[in-house]
A and B are shown apart, each in its own frame.
Chain A
Amino acid sequence: MTVLSSLDLIVESRRRRGRKYLVLVGLLLLMVIAIFMLTLSVGQSVTPPGEVLRVLLGENVPGASFTVGQLRLPRALLAILAGLSFGLGGVAFQIMLRNPLASPDIIGISSGASAAAVFAIIILSMKGTSVSVLAVAAGLGVALLVYGLSSKNGVAGTRLILVGIAVSAMLESVIAYILSQAPAWNLQEAMRWLTGSLNGAQLGQALPLLLALIVFGGLLLGRTRDLEALRLGDDTAAALGVKVATTRIAIIVGAVGIIASATAVTGPIAFVAFLSGPIAARIVGNSGSLLIPSGLIGSLLVLGGDYVGQFLLPTRYPVGVVTGALGAPYLIFLIVRVNRTGGSL
C-alpha cells in the first residue's frame, strides 16, 4: 500500500512538473508572438494591429503593405528563426559538454561559420544557399578541430574552452583580414560579420533557414531524451542505454548545422547562443528539457534586441551590439561563479 502511494506521489509530481513545463513554454511562446506583433505594428510609424493582420493574410493594404510586408515582416521572421537556431544550437552544446562556457560562439564555431560566409561572399562572390552550405561545412570542420585538439586523455572542459577561444581568435583575425580586402570598406556589412545584424533582411533568406531549422533542429529534438541523459555524465548515460558516441555526433551535426546556417544569413549574433541556455535553465529549472525553451528565449533575445537597437536607443545599433552588451557582463559573472563554486550549468 505504502509502495503504491509513493509511486502515486511520483507520478503526481511528475505530472505537475510536466504541466508547469507546458505552461512556461506556452508563456514563452506567447511572449515571442507578442513581441513579433509589436515589431510588426510599431516602428518609425504605427500600423494598427488590424491592418497588420490583413497584410499577414495577404491582403493589399495601401501603405501598410510596404512597411509591414516588405520591411518589418522579413526582419522579424528572420529574427525569430535565427534566434531559435542560436538558442537551440547553443544549449545543445552547453548540455552536451556540461559547461555553459562551451557555447558555439565562445569556442569558435560561430566564427568559423562566419569566416566561411565572409570568404564565400567577398572572395568567391557566392550567394544564397551555397554560402550556407559552405558555412555549415566550415562550422563542422572547426567543431572537429577544436574537439580533436582538446582531446588528450579525454576532453577536459577547460582545455576545450581555451582551445576554442584560441581558434576563435585566429578565425576572427581571418574575418578582419577578408573584410579589409573587400572592395569598399562598408561598416554596415562589416558589422554583420563582426557582431551580427538583421539589416537588409529579405523574405527569401528565411526559407532556407527554416529548412535548415527543420532538418537540423529536428535532429536535435529527436535526441532530447539522450541529451537529458548526457547531462548526468557520460558513464551514467551509457548505463541508461544511451549510445554516447553516436548521440554526440548527432548533436554536434545538428547544433553546428543550425548555428552555421543562421550565421550565414545574419552573422554571428553575439552571445545569443551563450545566453539562451542559462536563462532557460533559470526559468524552467528541472521541469523538462531545455531545448525548446532555450530556442524561444533565443528568439526573444534577437527580436527584442533588434527592436531595442532600432528604436529605443538614441542611435541605431545592429542587434549583435545589443545582445553583446547584455552578454559580456554575464560572461564575466559566469566566470566568477564557476570559479567560486567549481560547479557548472
Chain B
Amino acid sequence: MGLIVLLGVLLVLSVTVGTREVAWPDIIAALSGGVDGIGQAAVAVRIPRTVLALLAGGALGLAGAIMQGVTRNPLADPGILGVNMGASLAVVVGVAWFGITSAEAYIWTAILGAGASAVFVYTIGSLGRGGATPLKLALAGAATSVAFASMVIAVVLPRADIAGGIRSWQIGGVGGATFERIVPVLPFLAVGFMICFLSARKLNSLALGDDLAAGLGERVAVARAIASLGAILLCGATTAICGPIGFLGLVVPHLCRLLIGVDHRWLLPFSAIGGSCLLLAADVVGRIVARPAELDVGIVTALIGAPFFIWIVRRQRVREL
C-alpha cells in the first residue's frame, strides 16, 4: 500500500519538478491540456516522459524479478545478463544495415535481439562444470554486454546520419518521449506483463529446485521458457524506446524481497511497482542534480545499481570458476 502512495508522490514529482521551475497553476492547466506559455509547454513534455518512466520501470523491475526467479540467480538482471545490450545492438544493426524505420519494426527487432542474447548468454554461462552458477552467468552476461557495447559503436560510427544518437544506444534514457512513440509498444508490454504475472505460481515451484518442482507436477523447462519469454518481451520492448537501462531489474526485486518476502505472487507485482518508483525517482534526480542540463536515467541507475551489485557479489559465498 505504501508503495502505491510512494508511486503517486513520485508521479506528481515527475510532472512538477524539472530543469525549469513552473508555477502550480500552469502545471494544472498543462495537465488539462493547455500549452500556453513556456511553463505549460514544459509540463506537457513531462507528461509522456512520466508515463514512459512508469511503464519502462515497471517492465524492467518485473523482468528482473522473473530472471532472478527463472535462473535462481541473485545477480540476474536484464542489463547484467546482456539482454538489453543485445536488444540495443539488434536495433542499431537493423537501422544501419536494413534501414528499418517503423516503430513496430524497431520493437520486433529489439525483442529478437533480446531473445537471441538471452539464449546466447545462458548457453555460455551454463557450459562446463556445475551448470549455470550465479557467478558464471553474471560473468558471461557482463562480458557479452561489454562486447555488444563495442559492436554498437562499430556499427553506428560510420553512419553520420545516426551517429549523433550513439549515446542513446549505449545509455538508456526516457527524455524526449512522445505518446506517438509509446503507443506502439503498449500491446507488447501488455502481453509481457500478463505472461509474467501468470507465471508467478510456476516460479514459486521452481524456487524449490528443479527436482521438487518436477515432483509437484510442474513441467520445468516449459515453465522456464514461458516466464523467460515474458521477461524478454518486456526487456526488448523497453529497450526499443528507452535504450539499455541497466541495474534496475537487479536492485528492485532484492528490495522488494526484503519488504514482502519471496512469494512470487506478491513479489512480481511489487517489483513492477517498485521498478516504476525507482525509475521515476532516478529520472527526477537526474533532472535536478545537473541543472540546467539533464542526466540520462541510465546513468543514474548505473550509479545506484553498480554498488548494489558489488554488495551482492561480496555477500555471496562465491564458488571459483
| A interface residue numbers (CB < 8 A to B) | 101, 106, 149-150, 152, 156-159, 161-163, 165-167, 169-170, 172-174, 176-177, 180-181, 187, 191, 194-195, 270-271, 313-315, 317-318, 321, 324-325, 327-329, 331-332, 335-336, 338-342
Contact = CB atoms under 8 A, between A and B. Distances in A.
Contacts of B5: none
Contacts of B139: 101, 158, 161-162, 335
Contacts of A328: 146-148, 150-151
A169 to B, nearest CB: 5
B165 to A, nearest CB: 11
Contact of B170 (A170, A176, A317, A332): A176
A321 B159 CA distance: 14
Given A177-B290, A177-B299, A162 B138 contact: yes
A169 B127 CA distance: 25
With most chain A CB atoms within 10 A of its CB, the pick from B138, B140, B157, B166 is B157
Question: Per DSSP, are chain B's interface residues mostly helix, strand or loop, or mixed?
Answer: helix
B318 A195 contact: no
B157 A191 contact: yes
B154 A324 contact: yes
Contacts of A157: 320-321
Interface in B148-187: 148, 150-151, 153-154, 157-158, 163-164, 166-167, 170-171
B306 A166 contact: yes
Contact of A338 (B146, B302, B310, B321): B321
9 contacts: A156-B320, A157-B320, A174-B299, A174-B303, A176-B299, A180-B293, A321-B150, A324-B150, A339-B140
Given A180-B293, A339-B321, A162 B135 contact: yes
Interface residues of B, number: 48
B86 to A, nearest CB: 12
Contact of B150 (A149, A327, A340): A327
Contacts of A106: 143, 146
Shortest beta-carbon contacts, A-B, top 7: A328-B147, A315-B158, A324-B150, A173-B299, A339-B127, A173-B302, A339-B128
A174 B295 CA distance: 10
A325 B147 CA distance: 8
Contact of B171 (A101, A173, A315, A339): A173
Question: Per DSSP, are chain A's interface residues mostly helix, strand or loop, or mixed?
Answer: helix
Interface string B187-206: 00000000000000000000
A329 B313 CA distance: 26
Contacts of B293: 180-181
Contact of A173 (B154, B166, B303): B303
A195 B150 contact: yes
B283 interface: no
Contact of A339 (B124, B144, B153, B303): B124
B146 A342 contact: no
B171 A325 contact: no
Interface string B119-152: 0000011011100000110111011101110110
B146 A165 contact: yes
Interface string B38-79: 000000000000000000000000000000000000010000
Contacts of A158: 135-136, 139, 318, 320-321
Interface in B284-312: 290, 293, 295-296, 298-299, 302-303, 306-307, 309-310
Contacts of A162: 75, 135, 138-139, 142, 309-310, 313
A74 to B, nearest CB: 23
Contacts of A180: 167, 293, 296
Nearest to A194: B153
A152 B127 contact: no
With most chain B CB atoms within 10 A of its CB, the pick from A324, A325, A335 is A335
Nearest to A105: B146
A293 B24 CA distance: 67
Contacts of B320: 156-158
Contacts of B164: 187
A193 B276 CA distance: 32
Contact of A166 (B147, B148, B295, B309): B309
Given A158-B320, A165-B146, A187-B164, A340 B127 contact: yes
Interface string B226-242: 00000000000000000
B144 A332 contact: yes
Contacts of B75: 162
